Amino acid sequence: MNQFWTVALISTVFTSLFQVAANAATFSFSNPLSGSQQVPPNASPATGFATSILNGEPTSWTFNYDLSFSGLSGPLALAHIHLAPAGQAGPVVHDLDAPPLGSTSGKIVGDWTSTEVVAAGIDPVAVFNRFLDGQYYFNVHSNTPGTNFRAAGEIRGQIEDPVDASAVPEPSTMLGLLATGAVGSMLKRRREKQQKLTSDTTRLSA
């Protein structure tokens, strides 16, 4: 096969293979929860911490979360993800999976998917981008007499500062390496053919 078309074919194949991988992404979040992040802030001694991963493409993704909390002033009543930037309160958009209701300390592990978002008539791309823009927050509510912790929440943690954990190299980088390797391989074969031809010519002349 013509050398030019060999390189072109390799480029076409690997462009297709890596295009899907390049569109997919993995972002990790590590965020503390506290009463001071609530709106308005409160003096709750409770603390929390959430590690989360947003994985997939803007149109098809999963948001996995692992949230721990301790020291609530009253038993856990509700736990959600809300929509609003830091310093503002916003509506509930997702109920956290299987919260240990009635506990003052515990762990909540679950996920939120683009499938759920689409089923609710919401654009998954918009939600994906809001995650990256820090527009969501975890909110843990408790039943604490004499407070508004059930309505407003006792501790809050903004889902922000994503870290790009994607390990897939850019297609252009991969194609450059592959093309270089392909050209190098062809040049090596050409040298071997020339050496063989020279050797054969030498033997015939002897």
Per DSSP, 73 falls in state S
Q: Is 101 helix (H, G, I), strand (E, B) or coil?
A: coil
Q: Report d(CA 94, CA 148) in Å as an integer.
A: 21
**Mutual orientation of helices 171-205 and 3-23 as an angle, nearest 10°?**
160
Three-class DSSP category at 127: helix
pLDDT tens digits, 115-141: 999 999 999 999 999 999 999 999 999
Tokens of 185: 């391989």
Where do the structural domains in the chain lie, given as residue ranges? 3-12+170-205, 25-164
- The answer on pLDDT for 69 being more than 60 is yes
Element (H, E) at 193: helix 171-205
Q: What is the mean pLDDT of residues 21-43?
A: 91
pLDDT band at 166 (very low <50, low <70, confident <90, very high): confident
Residue 146 has pLDDT above 80, yes or no: yes
